[in-house]
Amino acid sequence: MNNSKTKRFGILTAGGDAPGLNPAIRGICKAASLEYGMEIVGIEDGFKGLVEGRGRLLRPSDFSGIIHKGGTILGTSRERPFKDEEKVKKLIYNYNKWELDCLVCLGGNGTQKRANYCREAGLNVIHIPKTIDNDVYGTDMAFGFHTALEAATDAVDRLHTTAASHKRILIAEIMGNSAGWLALYSGIAGGADVIIIPEIPYDITKVKGHLDNRMLSGSQFSVIVVAEGAKTVADAKLDRKAFRKKYEGQPSAAFRLQNELRAIGNYDTRVSVLGYVQRGGSPVPYDRMLATLFGTKGAELMAKGKYGYSVALSGMDIIAKPLKEVAGKTKQVPADHLSIKSAKLAGTAFGD
């Protein structure tokens, strides 16, 4: 515990980066220091830096002028300290050495889970949700999603013009391993002809049927949007380990789909894996806004001494949910989601 009257918190960003991390850091640090007079230890490279004791007191100039910047000024890593007892000891040691009153963890599902482990280990924690996948459980929206959606939709638009010119089938692979929010939304916004997401396992003969129907009706090209975590109906029955073993060293979802189509039809197909361009770049205004709201909520929670929460958007409200209720879960696209229903009505196929 920090014995002086001034509250001091540590802040880290963990997991894959997402546009909006810097606005969130700025929001929480400004509110915490200017409004509540707190001190801030900026921890480098997520949980790795916490374990290794790499942190420093932040000055206002550190978190000023960063609202428009992509990535994270603190750096990030995919460190999983709770797999190793020694690392957990070091993490707790550094929390105490820096005399923190709270640890603020900005990150996705994995970070939410690790924040909860920290809570169980006796630390005061607050989690702030970010991810381009929008799969953090407990919040309607995480920041990062809207920026990635813009990049992915722009790519689907671009693929349309080249697909139409060459009368080809263009397959765009979009990030999202366990949840297909980004593929679904960019597919709908970009007018994709087939959208394949992890939540709806696909049957390649149904995909073929849809492509053939389009050709028969005069549309000589198609754009397919596939999430990186998409699986066939048969593969969806495999557990995680068996699936990984089956496709070890093999190309990603879009290439699998291309091979499956080639095996059953004479299609001229091309693949475009969007990859990390979806995660990079300057956050769009919505993400800057949401990140700022989440950050200032985090500061308010600390000022009130409310620890052990994950900040969340619920409708138009910024709320806080107990970490123990939300950690370890994934927010997938529900089967009856309105957007799936309306896309189907508008002629988009899902391969099911």
Could you list the residues that contact ligand F6P (CB under 6 A)? 16, 78, 131-133, 175-177, 228, 279
Listing DSSP states for 236-291 in one string gives GGS-HHHHHHHTTT---HHHHHHHHHHHHS---EEEEE-GGGGT-SPPPHHHHHHH
Catalytic residue among 17, 45, 133, 135: 133
Q: How far is the CB of 256 from ligand F6P (least distance, A)?
A: 16
For residue 133, indicate whether it is catalytic: yes
Query: How are beta strands 39-43 and 55-57 bridged, if at all?
Result: antiparallel
Residue nearest to ligand F6P (CB): 16
Closer by beta carbon to ligand F6P, 44 or else 133: 133
Categorise residue 326: left if φ over 0, alpha if ψ from -120 to 50, beta otherwise: alpha
Does residue 308 contact residue 323 with C-beta atoms inside 8 Å?
A: yes
Judged by beta carbon, residue 39 or residue 228, the one nearer ligand F6P is 228
Rounded distance between C-alpha atoms, residue 233 and residue 224, angstroms: 18
**Burial (CB count within 10 angstroms: exposed 0-12, middle 13-18, buried 19+), residue 252:** middle
CB of 146 vs ligand F6P, minimal distance in Å: 14
When the beta carbons of 5 and 240 are compared against ligand F6P, the nearer one is: 240
In the complex, the smallest distance separating the C-beta of residue 7 from ligand F6P, rounded to whole angstroms, is 31
- Chain-centre distance for alpha carbon 30: 25
CA distance 191 to 219: 14
Find tokens 């959208």 and name the residue.
195
Minimum CB separation from ligand F6P for residue 347, in Å? Answer: 27
CB nearer to ligand F6P: give 163 or 333. Answer: 333
Provide, rounded to whole angstroms, the least separation between the CB of residue 27 and ligand F6P. 21
Instruction: Name the residue nearer to ligand F6P (CB basis): 21 or 340.
Output: 21
Point out the residues that are catalytic. 133
